[in-house]
Copies of this chain bind each other. A is one copy, B any other.
Amino acid sequence: MIEVARLADVGTMTVSRVLNSSVHVSAETARRVHEAIERLGYRPNEMARGLRGAKSKSIGLIVPSLTDPFFAICAHNVNAVAQSKGYSTIITTSNENPDTEFSEAEWMLQKHVEGLVLCPSVGRNSRFSDKIFQRIPIISFDRPLQGSRFSSVVVDNHVGAKLGTQHLIEHGHKRILFLGDRPDLFTIRTRHQGYRRALLDAGLKTGECLDCDSEDLVFKYVKTALAGKNPPTAFFSGNNRISRYLFRALRNLGVRVPTDIATVGFDDFDMADMMQPPLTVIRQPVEALGKTAAEALFNQFKAKAEDWPAKGSRITLKVELVLRSSCGCTQDAPKVIKP
């Protein structure tokens, strides 16, 4: 920077001002500075900028995994927003481990990210109330964060699951089972409640939220359930991973869908429409989830820390039922039902 100043025959402050266009600089001087920058290929050191001004121009993003297309798409959209605002995204995965999540979050704070977007793992995430996390805005998505300070963006899990279950009931099903991977997850828990509500309202018997976190467990559980007396006639799967496991299990068991067993799953996924039969699902706005969360973060940047609401807000995005064939419907084009 000193070299640029020397070459343009100005002070370093003038260079800084040209770079930040903070105060007006005479056109001629500005031109000389720009030329010098060009000639020297000078680029400001963001670390030094950050150190001085406490603005790192970066946000942190924590997701359980990028292997799951759901989170990958969310991450894509969070980054897209950050990019459009001239921010960089420091990303990391927690693998659903709250300890990893917490230490990664701390590490991001040390890097002075200006804000955090995360999909919190289940567990003691009350630690985010620590003093150090008071200084920056934090937005959670998909699952809310304990501690009311934080805003979150979620989808209408209860309504969606209820809608899907009701549809199964309309098809005449009376014994419907709910498959979830982790009953302690906010999303799964809320969807299970929606499922229960629908069944209860119809005067039917509800099932527990089955804890089948691996493909093997889904297989075993489904097999056991079907072999029992009074077997279910339909399954509701709690997320796209379980839906895929369920599809495999049913196929490998030689069960015909929807003739023998009908299914509805929460969360659409690529090629769900191309399965045999095409899968009926509750579609959630995955792109909007990431986008909205990031936008909420940048909105909070505008306000001063002392103006932050003591209670975080919650934004709930709408879902819809996409009728294909696994539920028992027969039609050429999928039909979309909004709650």
Contact = CB atoms under 8 A, between A and B. Distances in A.
Interface stretch (A6-14, A83-91, A146-154, A175-183): A83-91
A41 interface: yes
Interface residues of A, number: 48
A51 B43 contact: no
A73 interface: yes
A47 B112 contact: yes
B76 A88 contact: no
Interface string A41-54: 10111111011000
A271 interface: yes
A248 B275 CA distance: 10
Interface of A is mostly: helix
Contacts of A107: 88
B41 A45 contact: no
Contacts of A23: none
Given A47-B56, A48-B51, A93-B80, A88 B72 contact: no
B65 A88 contact: no
Nearest to A108: B88
Contact of A131 (B41, B89, B109, B251): B41
A58 B244 contact: no
B271 A112 contact: no
Interface string A92-118: 110000000000101111111000000
Nearest to A63: B76
Give me the 8 closest cross-chain CB pairs, A-B, nearest first.
A72-B72, A66-B76, A276-B276, A47-B50, A91-B91, A46-B110, A47-B51, A46-B111
Interface of A: 41, 43-48, 50-51, 56, 58, 65-67, 69, 72-73, 75-76, 79-80, 83, 88-93, 104, 106-112, 130-132, 244, 247-248, 251, 270-271, 274-276
